[in-house]
Amino acid sequence: MSKEKKAAKAALKRSSERKKQLMAALGLEWVGPVLKILKIFLLFVLFVVLPAVGILLLALQCRRGSDWSYLKKFRYAHRGLHRKGLPENSLAAFRDALDHGYGVELDVHLMKDGNLAVVHDSKLGRMCGADAVIEDLTAEDLPKLKLDYTEETVPLFEDVLKLFNGRPEPMIVELKVADGNYNELSEKTMELLDRYNVHYVVESFDPRAVAWFRKNRPEVVRGQLSTAMTKPEHGGSRKPDLMLVEHLLTNLIAQPDFIAYDFTERNIPELAICRKVYGVQEVSWTIRTPEDAEKAEKLGNLVIFENFGW
């Protein structure tokens, strides 16, 4: 080392020592360590926290700009205005909802002959007492599937659309994906919807179906359904894909116009971020008391209800 470098190093050391002595004399010897900690903290925020927040916001992104003024005029009967004698997802329950001026939420499945059936469960034991799966059946089988011990049968989606054709009441159409059939299910659903003069939005628990609309029919208002899927009462599965849907992180591929979240499980930060940052419309399901309906509507949410009426 040259004499000049040695001298400079010694001078720097003396200067540092004088600073320490001055800080000690002033009772400020704590400032140095605090500044070091602050520097580490700022670097952590800059290189870890801010990128993480950016990635989260990117993953949670929703589409802006949908007009909800018309759809907010209605409340939505869950699977029709069903009750004893009027089974869920039956033509009778849908007619009664229309008679009361309600929109409806309903479920569509793709059958093996390419037709769409309106029923909630793939397995037909609960509603029809049949040891069968709707995706394995055809339109010819539906008249034999009596709903909840009544004369009502599982309807074709097209028959439901005929009820709503030209009517003001809207539909919330849930696509029930089975065995990865989201492409064909989405295509068939739109083939029918395009034939009728109906007001509607679409939704699904499967983000691949929602993403199909983003890619192929961007003009259609689309929504991501979700709930606390990892809780025992909702199946308790810890599968990564279900965890992503629960926390709305699949918005990255779907970019929904609305989030339809289980009202009893809605207090999650991801939904709050979607609302505050992207202004996404929330749809609340399933509302079962007038008190919860009032709470949801005060939040600006659309209401999907059952077991009561206004």
In terms of domains, do 136 and 36 share one?
Answer: no
Q: Please enumerate in sequence order all residues whose Cβ is within 8 A of that of 160, keeping only pairs 6 or more positions apart, or say none.
A: 91, 94, 106, 118, 171
In terms of domains, do 38 and 87 share one?
Answer: no
Summarize pLDDT for 276-286 with one digit per residue, the tens. 999 999 999 99
Residue finishing a domain among 16, 37, 58 = 58
How far is CA 23 from its chain centroid? Answer: 57
Q: Is residue 149 part of a domain?
A: yes
* CATH number of the domain where residue 103 is located: 3.20.20.190
pLDDT at 63: 97
Q: Is residue 259 part of a domain?
A: yes
Flag residues of the chain having pLDDT under 50. Answer: none
Count of alpha carbons within 13 Å of 61, Cβ hemisphere only?
A: 14
pLDDT at 240: 86
Q: Is residue 218 part of a domain?
A: yes
In terms of domains, do 17 and 42 share one?
Answer: yes
Range of the domain at 42: 3-58
In terms of domains, do 33 and 178 share one?
Answer: no
CB 154 within 8 A of CB 145: yes
CB 161 within 8 A of CB 195: yes
Q: Is residue 273 part of a domain?
A: yes
In terms of domains, do 181 and 236 share one?
Answer: yes
pLDDT at 8: 64
In terms of domains, do 46 and 140 share one?
Answer: no
In terms of domains, do 232 and 102 share one?
Answer: yes
Q: Is residue 242 part of a domain?
A: yes
Residue 192: other Cβ atoms inside 10 A? 18
In terms of domains, do 72 and 200 share one?
Answer: yes
Q: Is residue 310 part of a domain?
A: no
pLDDT at 50: 59
In terms of domains, do 95 and 120 share one?
Answer: yes
The total of structural domains in the chain comes to: 2
The interaxial angle of helices 157-164 and 91-99, nearest 10 deg, is 20
In terms of domains, do 153 and 27 share one?
Answer: no
In terms of domains, do 120 and 82 share one?
Answer: yes
Q: Is residue 181 part of a domain?
A: yes
In terms of domains, do 41 and 180 share one?
Answer: no
pLDDT at 20: 66
State the catalytic residues.
Answer: 78, 120
pLDDT at 201: 98
Q: Is residue 146 part of a domain?
A: yes
Over the chain, what HEC string results? CCHHHHHHHHHHHHHHHHHHHHHHHCCCCCHHHHHHHHHHHHHHHHHHHHHHHHHHHHHCCCCCCCCCCCHHHCCEEECCCCECCECCCCHHHHHHHHHCCCEEEEEEEECCCCCEEECCCCECHHHHCCCCEHHHCCHHHHHHCECCCCCCECCEHHHHHHHHCCCCCCEEEEECCCCCCHHHHHHHHHHHHCCCCCCEEEEECCHHHHHHHHHHCCCCCEEEEECCCCCHHHCCCCCHHHHHHHCCCCHHHHCCCEEEEEHHHCCCHHHHHHHHHHCCEEEEEEECCHHHHHHHHHCCCEEEECCCCC
